[in-house]
Amino acid sequence: MRALFCGVRGSTCAPGGDFVRYGGHTSCVALAHDGTPPTLVLDGGTGLRNLSRHLDGHPFRGTILLGHLHWDHTQGLPFFAAGTHHASDVTVVMPAQGDPEKVLERSFSPPHFPVTPGELEGNWQVTSYEEGDHDVEGFHVVAADIPHKGGRTFGYRVSDGAATIAYLSDHSPVGAGDGPEGLGAYHRTAMDLAAGVDVLIHDAQHTAAEFRSRHQLGHSAMEYAIGLAEAAGARSLVLFHHDPSRTDDEIDTLVATHQGGPVEVIAAAEGLVIDV
């Protein structure tokens, strides 16, 4: 399996010279079977625009799994050139919460935006999942509710039969208890999603020092992500959903600070490719 990081920023875009190496686009990770174009995409933040370049002019035919519906996970959808192609075939999936197309339209229709999902070029379908096991685009996907602020949120575990990743882009583990360091509980759902994965992609919006004053925003401290990766036996951790004010140099320093533990720790960057 190949994971292509198209957008790694949390909350809102971060343009400007201090953010060019890790990138300013919001959450989007594309997955591909070995040697084929990506067909399964995790979240449709503005980073989704980057995916078109990797499809060599071909229309996108696949599925976009939304972990939840916040702006930083959906605003790339109407700007996805390979998806808004006359020959595209795009299925957008969200956590079940009423009529999925109408739910998406609440932020994706006039007067908020000039068009609705139904007016996009190409063949688009909007649907939903309940928690549980799903087979999609040749991947096995486990979807599970995880705590976050402001709406139903799924974490995903994705396997191609040989490699497995977990994706918890927005996770507020204090919603399940304070945990041993006050950074949130290593609760059963997070442990099950991350158990023994090759790559854990996890919310790393805050540092532990910042967390005390920001835990109410619904995200994780990177120290929690490291603790979860270790507790769940993940092989590697990709710090994801960087705070929009976190500069490249600051991310470098934080990653360097967290080297030497039992789990390999890297920071997600726009354009990063991981062959799992």
Nearest distance in Å: CB 81, Zn ion: 23
Would you tell me which residues interact with Zn ion (CB under 5 A)? 10, 70, 72, 170
Nearest distance in Å: CB 84, Zn ion: 23
User: Which element (helix H / strand E) includes 256?
Assistant: helix 248-257
Q: With respect to Zn ion, which residue has the nearer C-beta, 37 or 218?
A: 218
Cβ 44 vs Cβ 77: under 8 Å: yes
Residue 241's closest CA among 51, 5, 53? 5
Nearest distance in Å: CB 241, Zn ion: 6
Q: With respect to Zn ion, which residue has the nearer C-beta, 10 or 227?
A: 10
DSSP sequence for 38-86 = --EEE--STTHHHHGGGGTTPPPEEEEE-S---GGGTTTGGG-TTTSST
Nearest distance in Å: CB 243, Zn ion: 11
Q: With respect to Zn ion, which residue has the nearer C-beta, 26 or 88?
A: 26
Q: With respect to Zn ion, which residue has the nearer C-beta, 101 or 170?
A: 170
Q: How far apart are CA 238 and CA 231, in angstroms?
A: 15
Q: With respect to Zn ion, which residue has the nearer C-beta, 88 or 169?
A: 169
Nearest distance in Å: CB 100, Zn ion: 18
What dihedral angle (degrees, nearest 10) is formed by the CA atoms of 19, 243, 166, 236?
A: 60
Residue 242 amino acid letter: H
Q: With respect to Zn ion, which residue has the nearer C-beta, 41 or 55?
A: 41
Nearest distance in Å: CB 10, Zn ion: 5
Nearest distance in Å: CB 161, Zn ion: 29
User: Which element (helix H / strand E) includes 210?
Assistant: helix 208-214
Nearest distance in Å: CB 43, Zn ion: 8
* Residues found in the chain: 276
Q: With respect to Zn ion, which residue has the nearer C-beta, 24 or 59?
A: 24
Q: What are phi and psi of 31, to 5 degrees?
A: -115, 140
Q: With respect to Zn ion, which residue has the nearer C-beta, 8 or 55?
A: 8
Strand-by-strand arrangement of the 199-203 sheet? 132-136, 139-145, 154-159, 164-168, 199-203, 236-240, 264-267
Q: How far apart are CA 77 and CA 92, in angstroms?
A: 9
Q: How far apart are CA 266 and CA 276, in angstroms?
A: 14
